[in-house]
Structure 1
Amino acid sequence: MEIVRYVEQGAAEPRVGVRRDGKIAPVRFGSVAELLREPLDALRAGLEPAGSEVDADSVTYLPPVDGRTEVWASGVTYERSREGRVEESVQASVYELVYDAPRPELFLKAVAWRVVTDGEPVGVRADSEVDVPEPELAVVANSRGEIVGYTVCNDMSSRSIEGVNPLYIPQAKIFNGSCSLATGIRPAWEVDTADLAITMKIVRDDAVVFEGETSTARLHRTLEELVEVLYAPSDFPDGAILTTGTGIVPELSFSLTEGDRVDIEIAQVGTLSNPVVRGREPLSWLVDAIERPAARRKGQL
């Protein structure tokens, strides 16, 4: 079962539903944000069908985040991520220290309207030379900080900008098309996160130019710890999505190119595929999609 956000053909307003066996049944929640205001038990009860089913292939999928829900990210939570950051940075010791520090690295990744989903393009900055995708398990937490589900995230990153100075992380991490989430949220009670296989491949001109794999078993911190630190100083009235860092980092000599396709799969959780575009303009439709969700169709494959 997956929680999805979607627009039916001819409709103007998004709906929230449950996808299973090729069908989607709407639920009583009008938005994902409303769903994430509920305690875990009430949320589970609220996923019962509340309307007629439609074919899962007949709708336009929206990212499973809306309203005031924020997407945050964790950094340097895998040993491979630490190695990659040390390799790229002129201040390598910063990343060596944060890997073992009591406090994890957390940063804001995206507000809801800037998030893209499966089939829509991810972006690289026009002023960046080295850009990579970062496949990550994303934790979905409700307003109380309870983990209620999981999804797949592509945390796009400019290695060349971050490598100059760690204080440039917001510029390296936040831009049009920098955050993609899979269309579905798998409920937490259906997923065992102890050892989830995470794979990624990058396709260029119909050939695989990079592929890698890791597992959540290699995470240096627990999912509960990351969520606890995120929620300790702040309220999230519509919940939050927290990506948990990457264990797959290409060599520094590799960079994404416009026209590439990034394919990510996380066992038990889902898949995510995005073409790559360069610069701000190819994703300008995101602004139109704030008020007109159907505008997203022109951004999809």
Structure 2
Amino acid sequence: MSLQDDTALWLGRAWLPDVKGPAVVTVRDGQLCDVTSRAFPTVSHLLDADDPAAILRDLPGRALGPVGDIADVAPDPDRLHLLAPCDLQAIKACGVTFARSMVERVIEEQAAGDPARAAEVRARIGALIGDSLRNLRAGSPEAAEVKAALQAEGLWSQYLEVGIGPDAEVFTKAQPLSSVGPNAEVGLHPISTWNNPEPEIVLAVSSTGRILGATLGNDVNLRDVEGRSALLLGKAKDNNASCAIGPMIRLFDDGFSLDDVRAATLDLTVTGAGGYEMTGQSSMAEISRDPADLVAQTIGRHHQYPDGVMLFLGTLFAPTEDRDEPGQGFTHKSGDVVRIAAPGLGALVNTVRLSTECPEWHFGVRALMANLAQRGLV
């Protein structure tokens, strides 16, 4: 499904070069429409309304042009283009939500971030637990048995606790307004030499904890940095341009719901120089924690987010095939093009660079408020 499909209710943001600021946008009859107003100057405002889907359908809009053309435009301050579809929301992420990918986190830790040691650790763990992680549910008796078996082999890891124990890992992925959108460059911290994309579904959640829609995200992963120490998670995850979200949020309605998210399959393609291509999938049917439970563990009486939350749900994908030298596994190279797609959610495409080479992030909350005020919207 593309953004031109009129059966979907899309909500996003676009950069307006004439006002040097963002607009709240939707898609109507194949046209990208500006629906920004004093009542709803941001996506955060709209998602906190009583019925965002109904309001979005009725908001007056100004056509900006064919969405198919605009959706392919790379970020340029002098051109109309799509931004990440969130603004004031906190950007949170859940890690180790798939039991099978949990094993790769254990491997990273055991290998201390060294891809050459990872193959040996992977073989040990695979021989021990085989395929017992498929469809394993966190907190279940079966999960406790797997945990005990790994502990008995001296393979205990803090990742086991968050992967199959009662409490989910929830961390801050990026700062509000720092996420990049479709066609943007996505950044890797230059200290990393072992890294990969993480294709994920991202939920749009209101300040009251209502799950209102979903979009796609790339939770860029620095395997060597986090593998050296879980205490380096912030350094591994939150860097310039290291979070991509888009292309737009699809709001839940009669044709699309959280059950569609639960059943979704994400397709990943990485293309690089010399004809290189890697493909992969992440099936939400194998998630070890229900998305609604992840939201409940993120926002509630224990922690409030007054501007809402964009919540990454985690990924099943963890590449192990060698790209260059045997035993070194996969890692990105500058110029890789990452495409993440899922039925009903469109496609998110980004080009990989170093974070130090990506455009610096300057348009923060103060800049947004000043821009909206200048336009008479706040």
Query: TM over 0.5, yes or no?
Result: yes
CA distance in 2, matches of 1:71, 1:63: 11
Indicate the residue corresponding to 1:221 in structure 2.
289
1:287 aligns with 2:287: no
The alignment partner of 1:182 has SS state of strand
Indicate the residue corresponding to 1:114 in structure 2.
178
1:62 aligns with 2:83: yes
Aligned residue among 40, 44, 68 for 1:33: 44
Q: Which has the larger radius of gyration?
A: 2
Moved more, 182-191 or 236-245: 182-191
CA distance in 1, matches of 2:228, 2:17: 47
Indicate the residue corresponding to 1:50 in structure 2.
60
* Structure 2 unaligned spans of 5+: 1-8, 71-79, 111-154, 321-327, 369-378
Q: What does residue range 118-129 of structure 1 map to in structure 2 within 5 Å?
A: 118-129=182-193
Q: Which amino acid aligns with 1:253?
A: G
Cα shift at 1:104: 0.5
The answer on whether the counterparts of 2:177 and 2:363 sit within 8 Å (CA) in structure 1 is: no
Indicate the residue corresponding to 2:134 in structure 1.
none
More strand by share: 1
CA distance in 1, matches of 2:162, 2:363: 39
Q: Which amino acid aligns with 2:362?
A: V
The alignment partner of 1:7 has SS state of strand
The answer on whether the counterparts of 2:241 and 2:358 sit within 8 Å (CA) in structure 1 is: no
| Gap change, CA 1:119 and 1:206, over 3 Å in 2 | farther
After TM superposition, where is structure 1 displaced by more than 4 Å over at least 4 residues in a row?
A: none
Indicate the residue corresponding to 2:167 in structure 1.
103
Aligned residue among 69, 88, 92 for 1:72: 92
| Gap change, CA 1:12 and 1:177, over 3 Å in 2 | closer
Aligned residue among 244, 247, 251 for 2:313: 244
The alignment partner of 1:235 has SS state of coil
| Gap change, CA 1:167 and 1:276, over 3 Å in 2 | same
The answer on whether the counterparts of 1:204 and 1:261 sit within 8 Å (CA) in structure 2 is: yes
1:12 aligns with 2:20: yes
Indicate the residue corresponding to 1:136 in structure 2.
200
Indicate the residue corresponding to 1:153 in structure 2.
217
Cα shift at 1:54: 2.6
The answer on whether the counterparts of 1:37 and 1:237 sit within 8 Å (CA) in structure 2 is: no
The Cα offsets for residues 161-207 of structure 1, whole Å up to 9 and x where unpaired, read as 11011111111111111100012000122422231111101100262
| Gap change, CA 1:13 and 1:125, over 3 Å in 2 | closer
Cα shift at 1:281: 3.9
| TM-score computed with the length of structure 1 as normaliser | 0.90
1:230 aligns with 2:298: yes
The answer on whether the counterparts of 2:99 and 2:164 sit within 8 Å (CA) in structure 1 is: no
Indicate the residue corresponding to 1:256 in structure 2.
332
* Structure 1 unaligned spans of 5+: 293-301
CA distance in 2, matches of 1:170, 1:116: 18
Q: Which amino acid aligns with 2:199?
A: P
Equivalent pairs counted in the alignment come to 289
The alignment partner of 1:287 has SS state of coil
Q: How much identity, in percent, do the aligned residues show?
A: 30
| Gap change, CA 1:262 and 1:276, over 3 Å in 2 | same
1:199 aligns with 2:208: no
RMSD: 2.0
